[in-house]
Structure 1
Amino acid sequence: MEKIDKAANSANEAVDNVASAANQTAEALSEKGEQLKNAEQQMMEECRVYVRDNPITSLGIAVAAGFLLSRVLSGR
């Protein structure tokens, strides 16, 4: 009976350790996700400002990118 109790205690400790590690990992991923979301919002705002300040250049970049993308996707 003592061996069974020791095995059960060891199993419980292992499960607790795995649960703790999983919780820490989930928290770290959540934090990184929040950082990525903030970085995306900042980049989008910077793009909006650039387009607002440089509409002709932005249009030229969009046309060039569209042309290059169509060439790549058409298989030529």
Structure 2
Amino acid sequence: MTASSAEQLSKAAGKTVERVKADAHEAVETAANVSRQAAKVMGEKGEQMKHLEEQFVENCRNYVHDKPVTSLGVAVALGFLLSRLVSTR
């Protein structure tokens, strides 16, 4: 192998390394962008779930306040069913 051939090989390898490096950098940037977007969406969904939970609790409070006897009956029935499901005989 001549010095000229070795120099050409070295230049070609250098160009290949730079191209791979640029592609890897682009892939990392893409992954980071996707991760940021996913985190943003998860944050928004978390806020929506929190709001739904608050609405549910408020609706339950109102129902218990408006219909205390019915609420007590439902609670007793659910307690009975849960105890039957959980109990081991």
TM-score (norm. length: structure 1): 0.92
Deviations 1:4-51, CA, capped at 9 Å, x for gaps: 111111110000001101111111111111111100000000000000
Distance 2:15 2:86 in 1: 69
Specify every segment of 5 or more residues in structure 2 that has no aligned partner in the other structure, as ranges.
1-13
Aligned counterparts, 1:1-76, within 5 A: 1-75=14-88
Cα deviation for residue 72 of structure 1 reads 1.5
Cα deviation for residue 75 of structure 1 reads 3.6
Larger-gyration structure (1/2): 2
Cα deviation for residue 54 of structure 1 reads 0.6
Aligned residues: 76
CA RMSD of aligned residues (A): 1.1
TM-score (norm. length: structure 2): 0.80
Displacement over 4 Å in runs of 4+: none
Work out which structure has the larger RCO, using CA pairs closer than 8 Å and 6 or more positions apart in sequence. Answer: 1
Distance 2:24 2:85 in 1: 56
Aligned residues with identical type, % of pairs: 49
Specify every segment of 5 or more residues in structure 1 that has no aligned partner in the other structure, as ranges.
none
